[in-house]
Amino acid sequence: MIDFENADYLKLRSVSPASFEKMVVPLFIPGEQIVAAFQSIRDGIVFTNRRVIAINVQGITGKKKDFTSLPYSKIQSFSVETAGVFDLDSELELWFSGLGKVRFEFTGNTDVAGICRMISGFVL
């Protein structure tokens, strides 16, 4: 499982949803669809219309993968920090009932306001 106590990821950048489609579609429930996808070097985050799926690629070959499902229904609050002049990354923090805080760091050019709007649409 991904260590959410120390949830610092390498910076995530936007990728095509097709990048993770083969990996996550077998986990989907009927009607679930990928909305957005982000990837660091090997790990990734997939936002669906039902949840956030954190993908932790493990081992030398990367064949072993850990999928953590974070349902929007369990989000209690969230915050977004945009990139600045000296701090070039953006951050999304989500507080989940029963889990605590999860933080994702994105590259500075990521539309975190768009991510915030998307999450708001599913949570509020």
pLDDT band at 70 (very low <50, low <70, confident <90, very high): very high
More confident: 26 or 91: 26
Residues whose CB is less than 8 angstroms from the CB of residue 60 and which lie 6 or more positions away in sequence, other chains included? none
| Long-range contacts, 18-21 (Cβ 8 Å, 24+) | 19/44, 20/44, 20/46, 20/55
pTM: 0.85
Quote the mean pLDDT of the chain. Answer: 86
| Predicted pLDDT at 110 | 86
pLDDT band at 9 (very low <50, low <70, confident <90, very high): very low
> Residue holding tokens 């909305």?
35
Token pair of 31 as six digits: 């009607």
| Predicted pLDDT at 86 | 58
Residue 97: φ, ψ to 5°: -60, 125
- In angstroms, the CA 76 to CA 66 distance is 24
Residue 12: φ, ψ to 5°: -90, 140
For residue 23, give the DSSP letter.
H
**Domain 4-123, CATH number (from 3.90.79.10, 3.40.50.1360, 2.30.29.50, 3.40.190.10):** 2.30.29.50
Residue among 117, 110, 109 nearest 45 (CA): 110
Q: Which amino acid is at 107?
A: T
